């Protein structure tokens, strides 16, 4: 067999193999981080239940002070809505809306990143000794696109450090306000 034919056949077989393996990768992607805050749930809840307060502890807010924010809906709770737009690649464009909440227990947020996809974030508040364990969970479905399935393997690395940074900032803000 001619060497060029071998090369082409090898490339085709590799592409088929990569696509086949992609369908064995998870379709549902979850990233979670947690932090204990030395405050009761009632002190933490207002910070996660209000998108207008999000930038007080957001890991992305300080990356681009020129980011444009638009808020609509109620000040807090279900229906609160925030849009942001930034030219900074770590911030980008998106929409988030609180879609469900239970006082001092959890807040669920729908995220829309346009062509980048949709996701959900949940803040769970759980008693932990004299404080509160805050669990920040990111969930998305990458569908049947083989490239997105491969990218799904990177979500923990991409988002995990930001979630840790945000939870540390939340801890400082909440504990300083007591």
- Count of other CB atoms within 10 angstroms of residue 22: 19
d(CA 96, CA 138): 13
In a domain, 17, yes or no: no
Cut 0.75: pTM above it: yes
In a domain, 21, yes or no: no
d(CA 92, CA 139): 19
In a domain, 7, yes or no: no
In a domain, 9, yes or no: no
In a domain, 12, yes or no: no
CATH number at residue 119: 3.30.530.20
The number of distinct structural domains making up the chain is: 1
In a domain, 46, yes or no: yes
Q: Give the structural domain span for 48.
A: 27-176
In a domain, 18, yes or no: no
Digit-by-digit pLDDT tens for the chain (178 residues) are: 778 888 877 777 787 777 776 677 889 999 999 999 999 999 999 999 999 999 999 999 999 999 999 999 999 999 999 999 999 988 999 999 999 999 999 999 999 998 889 999 999 999 999 999 999 999 999 988 888 888 888 899 989 999 999 999 999 999 999 8
d(CA 63, CA 162): 11
In a domain, 74, yes or no: yes
């Amino acid at each position: 067999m001619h060497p060029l034919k071998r090369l082409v056949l090898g490339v085709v077989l590799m592409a088929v193999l990569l696509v086949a393996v992609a369908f064995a990768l998870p379709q549902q992607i979850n990233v979670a981080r947690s932090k204990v805050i030395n405050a009761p749930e009632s002190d933490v809840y207002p910070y996660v239940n209000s998108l207008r307060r999000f930038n007080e502890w957001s890991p992305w807010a300080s990356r681009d002070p020129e980011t444009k924010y638009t808020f609509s809906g109620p000040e807090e709770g279900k229906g609160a809505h925030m849009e942001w737009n930034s030219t900074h690649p770590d911030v980008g464009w998106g929409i988030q809306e609180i879609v469900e909440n239970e006082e001092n227990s959890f807040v669920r947020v729908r995220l829309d990143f346009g062509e980048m996809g949709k996701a959900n974030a949940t803040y769970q508040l759980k008693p932990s000794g004299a404080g509160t364990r805050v669990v920040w969970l990111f969930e998305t479905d990458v569908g049947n696109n083989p490239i997105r399935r491969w990218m799904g393997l990177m979500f923990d690395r991409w988002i995990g450090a930001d979630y840790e940074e945000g939870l540390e900032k939340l801890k400082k803000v909440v504990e300083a306000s007591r």
